[in-house]
Amino acid sequence: MTLNETIARLRAAHLMVRDAHEWDALSAALSDAYNSDDDDLIEQLEQPFVQSWRTVTHYVLRDTFDAAGISVSDPSHPWGIATLTANGISREPVLCHVDPADPQGSAFAAAAGPKLLTFAEAMTYYAGCLAPLFEHVNHRQTLNVR
């Protein structure tokens, strides 16, 4: 399984659940709820939004990640989708912009909430998290062939 094949399956699996406009609308509605301090709407939208991303990764894409040699575990970041690990390297795609000075996102709790990614941004970030896992796998495979 190549990186490009995995990214294509990743995108297709998420688009089976909702189209890109629906993902973006949910992200925008949740961002609006944070901006207006609407705790009821945040509670109504946040968990299903995050859980949808996590469910696709943990269950729908299980065979895809297994075939690529990537294990999937629970995320550590509150907006994390999953922790993806291959050959000792781990990456965690998230659904919001992450401040390098505050990678766990604790600062957003005191502010207006997270700046959520669009569907396209989330896919780009996800692909960026996958790339080093494949580089390491491909490097190991080359070493094992020699």
List the pLDDT tens digit at each of the 146 positions of the chain. 899 999 999 999 999 999 999 999 999 999 999 999 999 999 999 999 999 999 999 999 999 999 999 999 999 999 999 999 998 999 999 999 987 666 555 555 555 688 999 999 999 999 999 999 998 555 444 433 34
C-alpha span between 1 and 69 (Å, rounded): 9
User: What is the total residue count of the chain?
Assistant: 146
For residue 76, what pLDDT is reported?
Answer: 94
For residue 142, what pLDDT is reported?
Answer: 40
C-alpha span between 15 and 28 (Å, rounded): 17
Q: Give me the sheet containing 71-73, strands edge to edge.
A: 71-73, 83-86, 89-91
Any idea where the domains of the chain sit in the sequence? 3-104+114-145
The 10 Å Cβ neighbour count of residue 101 is 6
Question: Collapsing DSSP states into helix, strand and coil, what is residue 4?
Answer: helix
C-alpha span between 12 and 6 (Å, rounded): 10
